[in-house]
Structure 1
Amino acid sequence: MRVLRVLALTMAVPLTLSVTAACSTGAAGDGDTEAVEAASGVDADAFPVTIEHALGETTIEDEPKRVVAAGFSGADFPLSLGVVPVGAAKITYAGTEEFSTTYFDDALAEIDGAEAPTRLDETDGLPVDEIVRLEPDLVTATQSGITQEEYDTLTDAGIDVVAYPNAPYTTTWQESLEMEGRALGRSELAAQIEDETTQLIADTAEEFPQLQDKTFTFGGPNAGDFSSFYVYTDQDNRPRLLTDLGMKNTEFVQENSEDGQFLFNVSSERASSLDADVFLTYATSEDEVADLASNPLTRQIPAIADNRWYATVDVTEAVGFSAPSPLSLPSALERYVPQVAAAVDGNGSGS
């Protein structure tokens, strides 16, 4: 059984009314490509603004015209604010043939004159040289794993960078939206989008009352022999969203969650400690789902033995939970949450 460790690192209709409410955009391409000019949606007295983050303090003097967005879901945040990044991460997991996502492309199509951003390969870290060649005046990296060295190189090149507030890959979608709203001078619109998205989460929770106060464990096997399991902590966005829906992390997960860490490992001998009202995981195929359902080690987890578990096979189904944004969450809530509710009811992946 091949392990989906990549999932530990990634991770319907977008909010087009919010996206089109602002319209200052940039076009993709080489460094000499001019930005698409449109009426500004910038708040009054938005600049200069100083933003503190884990790697330093960034003062942005004027409205950014050319923005590069780092991180899997990084491009979603400026686009949700009506700003089209000139560069963005390649979406190699659950992406389209153009290394984008359907919800990003749908939102992009709502902005007249907008072009798709240049997609950058972040497999081995931020491609700093490629970013510099795009001549951005701002790099948003709130949802990324940008290192201090990468940050220093970009700032030494005269580029403003806004990094994550605390630790890599642990930023909430609300934090990213607020920070990037300030960086782009669109705090009022960011607050409006947060209210809309929060209401959508609340509406979904109301639709599935069986989720309320139910405990969950979100993790999976690290290797084909099931020698150990990874478990997402309460600082990962997947558990955060489930708690927003009214669910609860188990005491075991809470006790083993450390600051700045989005997962921890558990040996197979302790598999029974992963029990909860529902167990959530990933699989690459239906054959792997069958392996999880029948293997004696995984069946030590009572939720799996009792069919109160769900394994995502469709990589696009739950990507909005691993890398949530105002653009990805509507689809994730619509497609993934009903599966979680079914598992809570005992109609899980073993059915």
Structure 2
Amino acid sequence: MRTKYGLALIATTVLAGVALAGCTTGDGTGSTSAVGQTAKVDASSNAGACGQETRSITHELGTTEIKGEPQRVVALEFSFVDALASIGVKPVGVADDNDQKRILPQVLDQIAGYTSVGLRQSPNLQQISALKPDLIIADTERHKAIYDQLKGIAPTIAFDSLNASYQENLNSAVAISQALNRCAAMDERLRKHRDTMAAFKAKIPAGEKTKYMFGIASEKTFAVYTGDAYATSVLRELGLESVPPTEGQNTRVELSLETFVATDPPVLFVAKSADKTLFDQWQTSPLIRQVTAVKEHRVYPVTQAVWSRWRGIICAELIAQDVITKLYGG
């Protein structure tokens, strides 16, 4: 996972910036980077692009010229599928890890009929080419090495999905709508999203400062996510504060039982990636009963697919609903 430095902007402030900038305002300029380098996009990176027959879309691996309105889109990460579904676009191809069950049910209903193009980590280029796409959406980290091959098949734009925070994901969604010439639809979807997130936030008692930890338990490890990871940055939008074991420089850190006990989270959200996990083994230790979340029965199981594997507008709303239901019963 990536390493981040410095303080992240508060999600509510930056999301308001998306509202003000929208998809269609600004001067339309953006930086260009060579393949192998990345340049972060924000909500105004491609402002002014929509409505143009030919658009130069700035993304994290460069600038791509797109003509017309793409109709045959291939998405190589789940967050991009989320962005497409959010504005009513059905991709012709999805890297779904060869398992349709990995698509969230709330999204699958909207994109039924797509063709699998294999693993997200290593999509099948022949299958992608056979679909004759007119736009490919790739992940900056996972697909940097095959970016030249992808753009040889069709115009390709790339954004950080694997390591993206909540706000970075929203920026990518805006840029995707600009590439598709669907800015108005994304503006409307983000307006509804802001209203939805505000409604969830309003259910948290005024003045309450809930601190929590979010971890993934596997057979041999227990890893927690710090404040700049995707799910935790969604919770920051709600006003909740993560309890990371570090200063927040790493988005994912593995803990020992002793470190977990010393961190002492008052609330714990935990997803399991295996039937029998290291966290399950810890339950036999008397040390675990020293943790506030355990003593007060505030350990909440969550779904790995929603909280870790998937990212996006729809996903953020599902995470927020999950938190409010589990913590406040609403």
In structure 1, give the amino acid aligned to 2:325.
Answer: P
Structure 2 contact 226–243 (Cα < 8 Å) conserved: no
1:271–1:300 Cα contact (<8 Å) kept: no
Distance 1:298 1:175, change over 3 A: farther
Partner amino acid, structure 1, of 2:291: I
Distance change (3 Å), C-alpha of 1:138 and 1:265: same
Name the aligned partner's letter for residue 134 of structure 1.
Answer: L
User: Residue 74 of structure 1 aligns to a residue in which SS?
Assistant: helix
Q: Counterparts of 1:50-89 in structure 2 under 5 Å?
A: 50-89=56-95
Contact 1:205/1:211 (8 A) holds in 2: no
Which residue of the other structure, out of 255, 271, 288, is the alignment partner of 1:266? 255
Asked whether the 8 Å contact 2:121–2:143 carries over to 1, the reply is: no
Q: 2:293 aligns with which of 295, 303, 313?
A: 303
Give, in angstroms, the shift of residue 221 of structure 1: 4.3
Partner SS, residue 78 of structure 2: coil
Alignment-derived partner of residue 125 in structure 2? 128
Contact 1:321 1:332 in 2 (8 A): no
Report the CA distance between 1:134 and its aligned residue.
1.1
What's the secondary structure of 1:83's corresponding residue? coil
1:105 Cα deviation after fit: 3.4
Aligned-residue offset at 1:238? 0.7
How many residues in Structure 1 have an aligned counterpart in Structure 2? 278
Cα contact 1:220–1:281 (8 A) shared by 2 = yes
- Residue 219 of structure 1: which of 196, 210, 215 is its match? 215
The residue that corresponds to 1:28 in the other structure is: none
> What are the superposed Cα offsets for residues 228-266 of structure 1, whole Å, 9 maximum, x if unpaired?
53111222211011111110123644x0423xxx31223
Shift of 1:294: 4.4
Q: How does 1:132-171 map to 2 (within 5 A)?
A: 132-141=129-138, 145-157=141-153, 159-165=154-160, 168-171=162-165
Structure with higher helix content? 2
Provide the identity percentage: 22
Matched to 1:326, the amino acid is: I
Q: Is 2:274 aligned against 1:278?
A: no
Do the aligned partners of residues 58 and 205 (structure 1) sit closer, same or farther apart at CA in structure 2, a change above 3 Å counting? same
SS in 2 for 1:146: helix
Number of the residue aligned with 2:227: 234
Q: Quick one: distance in 2 between partners of 1:341 and 1:210?
A: 12
Q: Name the CA distance, whole Å, in 1 between partners of 2:83 and 2:181.
A: 13
Note closer, same or farther for the CA distance 1:293–1:339 as it changes in structure 2 (3 Å cut): farther
Q: Unaligned regions of 5+ residues in structure 2, if any?
A: 1-48
> For residues 210 and 265 of structure 1, what CA distance do their matches in structure 2 show?
33
Whether 1:338 and 2:325 are equivalent positions in the alignment is: yes
- Match 1:104 to one of 101, 107, 126: 107
Q: Determine helix, strand or coil for the equivalent of 2:255.
A: strand
Q: Secondary structure at the match of 1:75?
A: helix
Residue ranges of structure 1 left out of the alignment (5+ in a row): 1-42, 109-114, 343-351
Cα deviation for residue 273 of structure 1 reads 3.8
Paired with 2:244 and 2:50, the residues of 1 have a C-alpha distance of 46
CA contact (8 A) 2:217 2:278 kept: no
Contact 1:271 1:297 in 2 (8 A): no
Q: Which moved more, 1:303-312 or 1:62-71?
A: 303-312
1:334 maps to a residue whose letter is: Q
- Give the TM-score of the pair, scaled to structure 2: 0.72
8 A contact 1:208–1:341 mirrored in 2? yes
Helix, strand or coil at the partner of 1:235: coil
1:266 counterpart letter in structure 2: L
SS of 2:83's partner is helix
1:198 is matched with 194
RMSD, matched Cα: 3.2
> What residue in structure 2 maps to residue 348 of structure 1?
none
- Partner SS, residue 313 of structure 2: coil
Q: TM-score, normalised by structure 1?
A: 0.68
Letter in 2 for 1:325: G
Could you list the runs of 4 or more consecutive aligned residues of structure 1 that deviate by over 6 angstroms after TM superposition?
286-290
Please give the alpha-carbon distance, in whole angstroms, between the structure 2 residues aligned to 1:104 and 1:251: 31
The letter for the 1-side match of 2:232 is: P
